[in-house]
């Protein structure tokens, strides 16, 4: 089954958001309801699916690496690895053997 790589839009469509934490620099999965409640309460912190208390980083900061616990708990970002494409041409040459141009 061919699946495309999940994006932030995929996380949001499942009522989750990917939020980068300013403390550990990782992307955590946070439910929209939890994020909205923390914003309404004015605490500035929310709890991710993995249980980590997230201090949201600035939106101008680059996204961090994904939290492995959030990925396993929510299923966001789980995709089987694809085999690398085979390259024909240079890879067919035997290692240690130089190819000479014939004139």
What is the chain's pLDDT, residue by residue, as a tens digit (103 residues)? 444 444 544 444 568 999 999 999 999 999 999 999 998 999 889 999 999 999 999 888 888 899 999 988 887 665 555 666 666 665 555 566 666 666 6
What's phi and psi for 70, nearest 5 deg?
-65, -40
- 12 domain residue, yes or no: yes
- How many structural domains comprise the chain? 1
CB atoms inside a 10 Å sphere around CB 20: 20
Q: Among 25, 24, 23, 76, which Cα is nearest to 49's?
A: 76
The token pair that represents 21 in the structure block? 């934490």
Q: According to the model, what pLDDT value does residue 79 have?
A: 58
- 91 domain residue, yes or no: no
- 36 domain residue, yes or no: yes
Residue range of the domain that includes 39: 8-74
- 3 domain residue, yes or no: no
- 62 domain residue, yes or no: yes
- 82 domain residue, yes or no: no
- 38 domain residue, yes or no: yes
């Amino acid at each position: 089954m061919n699946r495309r790589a999940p994006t932030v839009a995929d996380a949001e469509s499942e009522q989750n958001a990917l939020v980068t934490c300013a403390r550990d620099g990782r992307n955590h999965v946070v439910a929209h309801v939890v994020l909205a409640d923390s914003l309404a309460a004015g605490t500035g912190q929310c709890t991710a699916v993995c249980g980590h208390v997230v201090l949201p980083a600035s939106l101008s900061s680059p996204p961090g690496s994904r939290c492995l616990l959030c990925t396993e708990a929510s299923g966001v970002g789980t995709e089987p690895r694809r085999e690398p494409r085979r390259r024909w041409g240079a890879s067919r040459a035997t290692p240690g053997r130089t190819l000479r141009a014939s004139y």
